[in-house]
Chains A and B, each alone.
Chain A
Amino acid sequence: AQSVTQPDIHITVSEGASLELRCNYSYGATPYLFWYVQSPGQGLQLLLKYFSGDTLVQGIKGFEAEFKRSQSSFNLRKPSVHWSDAAEYFCAVGASGGSYIPTFGRGTSLIVHP
């Protein structure tokens, strides 16, 4: 069965600093991978997705993620964090040979200090 691990429950960064949120997945074949963001009291919004091709994918709000098959990772990065980026971030894997319903990690809460 597919699974997703987000090892960091909370991450604190200063505004303007760079950010990397970690995500590791477990799946036998090439997965579909996603990052979502959830602002307080809101639903989830897609930041970016990887299906195939270029392993560095660009998303909205200046985010990017890199798929590394050898490390089973799909880490999310942003070069300069803004206070409005404070939110909960979820990594998800959607199997390319299963139910096609995404499995989510437990989330990483991003705190941004001014």
Chain B
Amino acid sequence: NAGVTQTPKFQVLKTGQSMTLQCAQDMNHEYMSWYRQDPGMGLRLIHYSVGAGITDQGEVPNGYNVSRSTTEDFPLRLLSAAPSQTSVYFCASSRDRVNTEAFFGQGTRLTVV
């Protein structure tokens, strides 16, 4: 049972490059979300989705795009990477609006130089 799978685990980008962080879940969960984790800041919500075709912004959405074409996948796109986007990124999913327990992937450590 894979749960939530994130790829890649590590990535180094140059300033201005773009890339996509992949997230897939096999639990048929409606809700998916992306967080970034920075020292002393906890987890901050970037974007989230409450179902295929529906996305919304979280606390820190600038510089990131998302789409949700299928229930399983929720990729996060960095449009033009900046050093301030150096962080650990976590994808999470939860079943629905009643059972909101979040299941997390193992994270992607991104460094922008």
Q: How many residues of A contact B (CB 8 A)?
A: 23
Tell yes or no: B74 within 8 A of A by CB: no
Tell yes or no: B26 within 8 A of A by CB: no
Cβ A100 vs Cβ B100 within 8 A: yes
Q: Shortest distance in angstroms between B60's beta carbon and chain A's nearest beta carbon?
A: 12
Chain B residues near A25 (CB, 8 Å)?
none
Q: How many residues of B contact A (CB 8 A)?
A: 27
Cβ B35 vs Cβ A104 within 8 A: yes
Cβ B42 vs Cβ A102 within 8 A: no
- A32 to B21 alpha-carbon distance, docked (Å): 29
Query: Which residues of A from 46 to 105 have beta carbons under 8 Å from B?
Result: 46, 49, 90, 92, 94, 99-105
Tell yes or no: B7 within 8 A of A by CB: no
Cβ A101 vs Cβ B33 within 8 A: yes
Q: Which of B12-20, B62-70, B76-84, B101-109 contacts A (4 or more CB under 8 A)?
A: B101-109
Besides the known contacts A43-B90, A43-B107, A106-B40, 6 further A-B residue pairs in the complex with CB atoms under 8 A apart = A43-B105, A90-B42, A100-B97, A101-B45, A104-B44, A106-B42
B residues within 8 Å of A by Cβ?
Answer: 4, 31, 33, 35, 40-45, 48, 50, 56, 58, 90, 92, 94, 96-97, 100-107
